[in-house]
Amino acid sequence: MREIIDFPCIPFAQLPTPLYKLENLSREIGKNVYIKRDDMTGVALGGNKVRKLEFLLADARDKGADVVLTAGGPQSNHAMLTAACAAKLGMSAILVLKKRGVLSGGNLILDEIFGAEVRFVDTDSYDGVYAEMERIMADLRAQGHTPYFIPVGGSVPLGSLGYVNCALEKEEYQAFWRELCGAEEAEVHGFEDKNVFEGCMPVEVMARRGEDTLRYGPLKPRGLKDPSTGREPYAVVQLRKDNAGGSIYNLVGFQTHLKFGEQKRVFSMIPALRNAEYVRYGVMHRNTYLDSPRLLDRYYRLRSDPRITFAGQMTGVEGYVESAASGFLAAVELARRLVGKEPINFPRETALGALSLYVSDETVKDFQPMNINFGIISPLGHKVRGKRNKNLEISQRSLEMIERLKPEVLG
Report the candidate in 259, 126, 95 with the shortest Cα–Cα distance to residue 187.
Answer: 259
Domain boundaries, the chain: 1-156, 163-287, 292-410
The CATH topology of domain 292-410 is FAD/NAD(P)-binding domain (3.50.50)
Dihedrals phi, psi of 201, to nearest 5 degrees:
-75, 135
Report the candidate in 376, 357, 364 with the shortest Cα–Cα distance to residue 298.
Answer: 357
Give the Å distances, CA to CA, from 373 to 91, 211, 300: 35, 31, 19
pLDDT at position 193 is 46
Residue 148 burial (10 A CB sphere; 0-12, 13-18, 19+): buried
The CA distance from 48 to 194, in Å, is 30
| Global pTM value | 0.47
Q: What is the mean pLDDT of each run of 10 residues along the chain (411 residues)?
A: 69 69 83 69 72 90 95 91 94 92 86 94 88 95 96 83 71 90 78 52 89 88 68 83 73 87 92 83 75 94 94 89 94 93 93 94 84 88 88 93 91 75
The CATH topology of domain 1-156 is Rossmann fold (3.40.50)
SS (H, E, C) 143-160: CCCCEEEECHHHCCCCHH
Which three-class secondary structure state does DSSP give residue 16? Answer: coil
β-bridge pairing 92-98 and 67-72 = parallel
